[in-house]
């Protein structure tokens, strides 16, 4: 599947079907710090992603205080 | 994609988000409802403002400030926006586009102040000229201009988009240094006093994952990229630490902050009153200050006299790419 990431903006290919939580774990990303959007729709951690999906992993942490 | 097995806690429809701190999943409709209720609870519990108050929302183009403006307008409050152009290269240009589009699409009133045009400096230059962290010059400039605009415009309260993650991270930093004066002032609402306007943070009961989800579900086109100067700063490190704890022990972050407000802040109230005793008016701009000239006017003097500094020279650790 195609995975779009930010900071810096980039796209990577990830093999195989897997859940959102497994994808985040594989990329060493913390769930609390990200939203996952599959084919334009927000999805929860147990959603299963297919090889032909386009996935955006959007960080939600901002630096201002 | 195969539909998830998780269901909304409220209606049993397929969930779009899992919120471990609530030990629940939510569909789009009920996630939005949760956000509305949490903001409303914060406004009521901390007596932030009422339906007749004129609100000035400090907006940056990021998710939190646009979310709070959107939520206030949706809830029927009278809220205008204030945007400060910081001069942080492409980041500021894109921020401006997001804020102006948001306001124009909804017919909202937006006040814009550009640091370079109005005061002759920008944040990269201020950082270099003062030899201080860029976030320090940025925060001080914004606070001063928010206060000034609120006073000048006759607004009852300045609202910022600070969320639970922001407040918990600041609290962690203040606790790690046992900075009592800062701890005493870290409240979700500060009353109008000593020439400062009232300030409120209606999103303190929402995490930034929840405010980002609000924007996504409401179709708010916010600036996702973080400030290139802030990247890698200590505040972000504190957020990472808290999220690592949260991962192992959901709802710890909200307990850390909200229990501080309920249990510890009242004990520090006396300290807060004592710390703000010796304020007078800045001879230049009239803002409250402990000296003859306020820190903002001194910053303007120093930064505007310095040659412009490109943002690339002051990037944060993770902003250099």
Please give the pLDDT value at position A8: 83
Substitution target from A5, A29, A63 for chain B, most B beta carbons within 10 A = A63
What is chain A's mean pLDDT, rounded? Answer: 92
pLDDT at A65 over 50: no
Please give the pLDDT value at position A16: 79
B271 contact partners, CB below 8 Å, separation of at least 6: B180, B181, B183, B184
Q: What is the mean predicted confidence (pLDDT) over B273-284?
A: 79
Least CB–CB distance from B166: residue in A9, A38, A65 = A65
Q: What is the mean predicted confidence (pLDDT) over B146-160?
A: 97
- Residue found under tokens 């409303």: B40
Confidence of residue B318 (pLDDT cuts 50, 70, 90): very low
Please give the pLDDT value at position B61: 96
Evaluate the omega torsion of the peptide bond into residue B129 and state whether it is cis, within 30 degrees of 0.
no
Q: What is the mean predicted confidence (pLDDT) over B36-62?
A: 98
Cα–Cα distance for residue pair B140/B13, rounded to 1 Å: 46
Q: What is the mean predicted confidence (pLDDT) over B314-321?
A: 56
Please give the pLDDT value at position B320: 44
Which tokens in the block code for residue B175? 């606790």
Partner residues linked to A34 by β-bridges: A59
Share of chain B above pLDDT 70, in %: 95
Which tokens in the block code for residue B226? 């973080």
When mean pLDDT is compared across A6-15, B65-74, B110-119, B227-236, the lowest value belongs to: B227-236
Q: What is the mean predicted confidence (pLDDT) over A15-33?
A: 92
Q: What is the pLDDT of residues B11-24, one digit of tens each?
A: 999 999 999 999 99
Which tokens in the block code for residue B146? 């928010």
Confidence of residue B2 (pLDDT cuts 50, 70, 90): low
pLDDT at B317 over 60: no
Show residues of chain A in contact with B213, CB under 8 Å: 35, 42
pLDDT at B79 over 70: yes
Please give the pLDDT value at position B15: 97
Angstrom CA distances, B143 to B1, B158, B311, stand at 45, 10, 21
Task: List, in order of start, the domains of chain A with CATH numbers.
Answer: 2-59 (3.10.20.30)
Cα–Cα distance for residue pair B43/B286, rounded to 1 Å: 30
Please give the pLDDT value at position B3: 61
At B267, give phi and psi (nearest 5°): -70, -20
pLDDT at B152 over 70: yes
More confident residue, B317 or B66: B66
What HEC string does B17-44 produce? Answer: EEEHHHCEEECHHHHHHHHHHHHHHHHH
B203 contact partners, CB below 8 Å, separation of at least 6: B38, B39, B42, B64, B67, B68, B161, B162, B163, B164, B211
Which tokens in the block code for residue A42? 């927000």
Taking the CA of residue A57 and the nearest CA in chain B, the distance in Å comes to: 11
- Give the global pTM: 0.94
- Is the CB of A61 less than 8 angstroms away from the CB of B208? yes
What ipTM, to 2 d.p.?
0.95
pLDDT at A7 over 90: no
- Is the CB of A42 less than 8 angstroms away from the CB of B207? no
Cα–Cα distance for residue pair A25/A36, rounded to 1 Å: 13
Most confident range (mean pLDDT) of A50-64, B167-181, B217-231 is: B167-181
More confident residue, B254 or A62: B254
| Cβ contact A10:A42 at 8 Å | no
Confidence of residue B4 (pLDDT cuts 50, 70, 90): low
Q: Is the CB of residue A28 less than 8 Å away from at least one CB of chain B?
A: no
CA geometry: angle A37, A42, A47, nearest 5 deg: 85
Q: Is the CB of residue B66 less than 8 Å away from at least one CB of chain A?
A: no
| Cβ contact B318:A63 at 8 Å | no
Tell me which H or E stretch contains B26.
strand B24-26
Cα–Cα distance for residue pair B19/B174, rounded to 1 Å: 27
Which tokens in the block code for residue B35? 């956000």
Return the closest-CA partner of residue B239 out of B299, B310, B165.
B165
The alpha carbon dihedral of A32, B171, B146, B225 has a sign of negative
Helices (H), chain B: 28-45, 63-74, 89-106, 115-119, 123-130, 134-153, 164-176, 180-185, 208-218, 234-248, 252-259, 265-275, 295-304
CA closest to B28 among chain A residues: A42
Evaluate the omega torsion of the peptide bond into residue B163 and state whether it is cis, within 30 degrees of 0.
no
Confidence of residue B279 (pLDDT cuts 50, 70, 90): confident
Task: List, in order of start, the domains of chain B with CATH numbers.
Answer: 48-314 (3.40.50.620)
Please give the pLDDT value at position B274: 63
Q: What is the mean predicted confidence (pLDDT) over B75-89?
A: 97
- Is the CB of B225 less than 8 angstroms away from the CB of A9? yes
Please give the pLDDT value at position B255: 98
Confidence of residue B39 (pLDDT cuts 50, 70, 90): very high
pLDDT at B165 over 50: yes
Share of chain B above pLDDT 90, in %: 85
- Is the CB of A44 less than 8 angstroms away from the CB of B4? yes
How many CA atoms, within 13 angstroms, populate the side-chain half-sphere of residue B192? Answer: 15
What is chain B's mean pLDDT, rounded? Answer: 93
Neighbours of B284 (CB within 10 A): 15
pLDDT at B319 over 60: no
């Amino acid at each position: 599947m195609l995975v779009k990431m930010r900071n810096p903006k980039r796209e990577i290919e990830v093999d195989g079907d897997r859940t959102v939580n497994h994808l985040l774990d594989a990329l060493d990303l913390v769930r609390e710090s990200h939203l996952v959007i599959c084919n334009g729709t927000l999805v929860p951690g147990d959603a299963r992603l297919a090889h032909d999906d386009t996935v955006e992993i959007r960080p939600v942490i901002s630096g201002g205080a | 994609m195969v539909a998830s097995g998780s269901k909304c806690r409220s209606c049993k429809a397929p969930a779009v988000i899992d919120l471990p701190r609530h030990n629940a999943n939510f569909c789009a409709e009920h996630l939005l409802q949760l956000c509305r209720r949490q903001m409303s609870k914060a406004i009521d519990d901390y007596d932030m403002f009422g339906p007749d108050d004129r609100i000035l929302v400090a907006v940056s183009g990021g998710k939190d400030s646009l979310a709070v403006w959107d939520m206030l307008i949706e809830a029927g409050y009278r809220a205008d926006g204030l945007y400060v152009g910081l001069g942080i290269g492409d980041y500021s240009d894109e921020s401006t586009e997001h804020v102006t589009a948001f306001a124009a699409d909804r017919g909202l009133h937006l006040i814009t102040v550009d640091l370079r045009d109005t005061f002759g400096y920008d944040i990269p230059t201020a950082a270099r000229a003062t030899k201080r962290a860029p976030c320090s010059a940025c925060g001080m400039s914004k606070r001063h201009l928010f206060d000034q605009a609120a006073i000048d415009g006759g607004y009852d309260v300045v609202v910022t988009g600070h969320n639970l993650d922001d407040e918990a991270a600041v609290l962690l930093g203040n606790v790690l240094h046992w900075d009592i004066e800062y701890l005493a002032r870290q409240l979700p609402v500060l009353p109008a006093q000593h020439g400062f306007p009232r300030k409120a943070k209606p999103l303190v009961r929402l995490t930034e994952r929840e405010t980002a989800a609000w924007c996504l579900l409401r179709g708010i086109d916010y600036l996702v990229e973080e400030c290139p100067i802030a990247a890698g700063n200590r505040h972000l490190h504190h957020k990472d630490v808290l999220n690592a704890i949260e991962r192992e022990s959901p709802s710890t972050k909200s307990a850390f902050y909200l229990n501080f407000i309920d249990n510890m802040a009242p004990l520090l109230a006396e300290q807060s009153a004592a710390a703000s005793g010796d304020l007078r008016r800045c001879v230049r701009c009239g803002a409250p200050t402990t000296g003859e000239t306020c820190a903002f006017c001194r910053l303007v003097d120093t930064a505007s006299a310095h040659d412009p500094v490109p943002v690339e020279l002051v990037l944060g650790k993770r902003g250099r790419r």
